[in-house]
Amino acid sequence: MELIKKQDKSAESDQMFYHISDLCRIFSMSRTTLWKLTKTSSFPKPVKFYARKKMWLRDDIEKWGRSQSLN
């Protein structure tokens, strides 16, 4: 699992991020399914790192996962 640390000078602590391949492995879904969920449901939106690289905040993914296990 690739967790990326990104320092945010405005935040007190560092944020951790998931790459799309990590989310596909964690939730056992394809990239296509993951992007469809991102566009059509309450699945967290990614954060843009570079022009072509997007990643998801760990906290957002964990909150979403907990909400899904309650349903």
Break the chain into its structural domains and give their ranges. Answer: 3-70
Q: Is the pLDDT of residue 1 over 70?
A: no
Closest CA to 57 of 29, 68, 65: 65
At 16-44, the pLDDT tens digits run: 999 999 999 998 999 999 999 999 888 99
- What share of the chain has pLDDT > 90, as a percent? 54
CATH fold of the domain at 3-70: Multidrug-efflux Transporter Regulator; Chain: A; Domain 2 (1.10.1660)
Query: Residue 46 has what DSSP assignment?
Result: P
